[in-house]
Amino acid sequence: MRPAARVAFAAALAAASPVAQAQDARPKRIVSINQCTDELVLRLADPDRVASVSWLSRDAANSNVAALADRVPVNHGLAEEVMSHRPDVVLAGAWSSRTTIEILKRLGVKLVEFDVPRTLDEARAEIRKLAAAIGEQERGEAMVRAIDAGLAALPSPKPSLRALVMQPNGFTVEKGSLVEDIMNRAGLENLASRVGSGGYLQVPLEAVALQQADVMILNSEAYGAPSLATAALDHPIIKALGRRLRVIALPPKLWTCVGPNLVDATRSLIARTRGAEAVTR
Q: Is residue 247 a contact residue for other proteins (CB under 8 A)? A: no
Whichever of 116 and 201 has its CB closer to other proteins, that residue is: 201
Q: How many residues does the chain have?
A: 281
Among 99, 121, 244, 249, binds other proteins (CB under 8 A): 244
Region from 11-19, 127-135, 185-193, 241-249 binding other proteins, contact rule CB under 8 A: 241-249
Whichever of 60 and 151 has its CB closer to other proteins, that residue is: 60
Region from 34-42, 70-78, 149-157, 226-234 binding other proteins, contact rule CB under 8 A: 226-234
Q: Is residue 197 a contact residue for other proteins (CB under 8 A)? A: no
Q: CA-to-CA distance for 279 and 281, rounded, in angstroms? A: 6
Q: CA-to-CA distance for 55 and 209, rounded, in angstroms? A: 37
Q: Are 153 and 280 in contact (CB under 8 A)?
A: no
Q: Is residue 205 a contact residue for other proteins (CB under 8 A)? A: yes
Binding string to other proteins for residues 150 to 189, with x set by CB under 8 A, is what?
Answer: ------------------xxx-------------------
Q: Are 73 and 85 in contact (CB under 8 A)?
A: yes
CB of 242 to other proteins, least distance (A): 11
Whichever of 166 and 186 has its CB closer to other proteins, that residue is: 166
Among 14, 106, 226, 280, binds other proteins (CB under 8 A): 226
Q: Is residue 204 a contact residue for other proteins (CB under 8 A)? A: yes
Among candidate residues 124, 170, 154, 168, the one with its CA nearest the CA of residue 269 = 154
Whichever of 199 and 275 has its CB closer to other proteins, that residue is: 199
**Which residues would be at the binding site for other proteins (CB under 8 A)?**
168-170, 202, 204-207, 209-210, 212, 221, 223-230, 232, 235-237, 240-241, 243-244
